Amino acid sequence: MKVAIVGASGAVGQEFLRVLAEKDFPIDELVLFGSERSAGRTYKFRDKEYEVKLLRHGDDFKGVDIAFTSAGAGISKEYAGDITRYGAVMIDNSSAFRMDDDVPLVVPECNAGDALNRPRGIIANPNCTTIMMVVALQPLENLSHIRRIHVASYQSASGAGAAAMAELQQQYGEIIAGQPVTVKKFPHQLAYNVIPQIDVFQPNGYTKEEMKMFNETRKIMHSDVRCSAMCVRVSSLRAHSESVWIETERPISVEEAQRALAAAPGVTLHDDPANLVYPMPLDTAGKDDIFVGRVRKDLADDCGLTFWLSGDQIRKGAALNAVQIAEYLIKVGNVK
């Protein structure tokens, strides 16, 4: 298997290297690509050093079986033709193709089979907040159709990339040293703050991030569900959390929901409030599963259930989900 990573120096690119190494993914040959800024850097993978090549138009993807791309929507759009021309499957982390009808949007726990129908050779990896939520929603949807979702997210600095994580840490250092605070990657200072804006505002008053949760959830779950989201940046470093309220067609009891969640692939139930057990980003960072807790009835809705989740945005929210898609294709013999 020849594997390419585009955007190898970014937070997600680096996580691809870790996840692929940990999982013993079948790689005979690995090629790393990046921008002019990162070309020439070297990274270790399974005891061998690999140099990042400059991403350019041409035949560099000839012979590549799977290309994981995470370099932004503009780069994905510009290079998709070069990447897929000779048959490589492009598993794309950007928002470039997510809502295109001829590009499947896949979370293996929900709709792995959609990955098999990819007329353009492209499979899109959903936005991190959507991935994390649908992994927890699928076992509940299997019990009773979810009609409505309300969700508030608590998104860490990592969602804005490696430089943003560094900026958050720098801000705390500057505050402690009594220096002016550097603000480049976020619309406001994030240290000691929460920012009720992720991505840009749309004409309806929601942000792009919030509309991703509405649109992507419907596509992945093949559902008419309506999802109203409020996405907020908080000063945790690398795991996102979400408060979720759902309304189902028939009422689901807390015990029934807990049983379904505990048995679901990709979910770990951490729900023992009497012993102060509930998911928190400090504990879920670096882990593969989405952790769910605080499951309870919605006091405002007889058919409502509410819960809290937390998961590593760079792993399941990005690199791990993409690698799991590739693992599925390998398992069913559908790479080329």
Q: Which is nearer to ligand 2RA, 98 or 270 (CB)?
A: 98
Least distance (Å) between residue 161 CB and ligand 2RA: 8
Contacts (CB under 6 A) with ligand 2RA, residues 199-258: 209
Give me the catalytic one of 110, 128, 227, 231.
128
- Beta-bridge partners for 312: 239
Q: Which is nearer to ligand 2RA, 30 or 320 (CB)?
A: 320
Q: Which is nearer to ligand 2RA, 129 or 223 (CB)?
A: 129
Write out the two tokens for 197: 């804006």
The reply to whether 324 sits in an annotated binding site is no
Least distance (Å) between residue 294 CB and ligand 2RA: 22
The reply to whether 155 sits in an annotated binding site is yes
The reply to whether 3 sits in an annotated binding site is no
Residue 128 falls in the annotated catalytic set: yes
Stretch that binds ligand 2RA, among 9-17, 124-132, 256-264, 284-292 (CB under 6 A): 124-132
Query: How far apart are the C-alpha atoms of 282 and 60, rounded to whole Å?
Result: 40
The reply to whether 14 sits in an annotated binding site is no
Full 3-state SS string of 183-225? CCCCCCCCCCCCECCCCCECCCCCEHHHHHHHHHHHHHHCCCC
Query: How far apart are the C-alpha atoms of 264 and 244, rounded to whole Å?
Result: 17
Closest CA relative to residue 292, chosen from 250, 246, 257 = 257
Chosen residue from 155, 171, 248, 284 binding ligand 2RA by CB under 6 A: 155
Full 3-state SS string of 248-310? ECCCCCHHHHHHHHHHCCCEEECCEHHHCECCCHHHHCCCCCEEEEEEEECCCCCCEEEEEEE
Q: Which is nearer to ligand 2RA, 31 or 160 (CB)?
A: 160
Residue 270 falls in the annotated catalytic set: no
Under 8 Å between Cβ of 213 and 130: yes
Least distance (Å) between residue 210 CB and ligand 2RA: 10
Specify the pairing of strand 42-45 against strand 122-124.
unpaired
Residue 75 interacts with ligand 2RA (CB under 6 A): yes or no:
no
Least distance (Å) between residue 324 CB and ligand 2RA: 18
Between CA 326 and CA 257, with CA 265 as vertex, the angle to 5 degrees is 150
The reply to whether 250 sits in an annotated binding site is no
Closest CA relative to residue 159, chosen from 244, 77, 74, 234 = 234
Residue 311 interacts with ligand 2RA (CB under 6 A): yes or no:
no
The reply to whether 158 sits in an annotated binding site is yes
Residue 128 interacts with ligand 2RA (CB under 6 A): yes or no:
yes
Residue 319 interacts with ligand 2RA (CB under 6 A): yes or no:
no
Query: How far apart are the C-alpha atoms of 319 and 6, rounded to whole Å?
Result: 12
Binding site for ligand 2RA (CB under 6 A): 127-129, 155, 159-160, 198, 209
Catalytic residues, which ones?
128, 240
